[in-house]
Amino acid sequence: MAKAVEQVNWNDQGLVPAIAQDWRSGEVLMLAWMNREALELTLREGRAVYWSRSRGALWRKGESSGHVQHLKELRLDCDADTVLMKVEQVGDIACHTGRRSCFYQRREAGEWRAVEPVLKDPDSIYPGKA
């Protein structure tokens, strides 16, 4: 594991962007960030673990919501500063808004329009936050 992780070009904050893509549909689900420890845990646990920049803490995707992302494949880009995960998205919901993908806003007629349905009420995803 160490060898692959060594070859990643971390930015000056020790992070890289990590894209999660549905391994079957190819839909881009989200982009979050990883530090070295998050990537190592992702590989060790076989599920997406990010670094939450807002909380300054490791973020095991799905730890509150249950919407875990099981890692199917890991890719690295040509300059080694972005990783792409092909994942199996538990619950088919990646977004905290209850939508499948975080990229649910599409530009139409000069404005952002929410074009993806809410599959689950966020209050029922995060009951402790209500």
| Residues flagged as binding site | 77-79, 81, 95, 102
Q: 84 and 17 in contact (C-beta within 8 Å)? A: no
Q: Which amino acid, one-letter code, is at 72?
A: K
Q: 62 and 70 in contact (C-beta within 8 Å)? A: no
Q: Per CB under 8 A, which of residues 90..109 are in contact with a second copy?
A: 95-97, 99, 102-107
Single residue of 55, 56, 57, 110 touching a second copy by CB under 8 A: 110
Q: What is the DSSP string of 63-117?
A: TTTS--EEEEEEEE-TTS--EEEEEEEGGG--STTS-S-S--EEEETTEEEE-S-
Per-residue x/- mask for a second copy, residues 1 to 40, rule CB under 8 A? x-xx--x---------x-x-x---xxxx-xx---------
**Cα 107 off chain centre by:** 22
Minimum distance between the CB of residue 128 and a second copy, rounded to whole angstroms?
Answer: 20
Summarize as ranges the residues that interact with a second copy (CB under 8 A).
1, 3-4, 7, 17, 19, 21, 25-28, 30-31, 43, 73-80, 82, 84, 95-97, 99, 102-107, 110-112
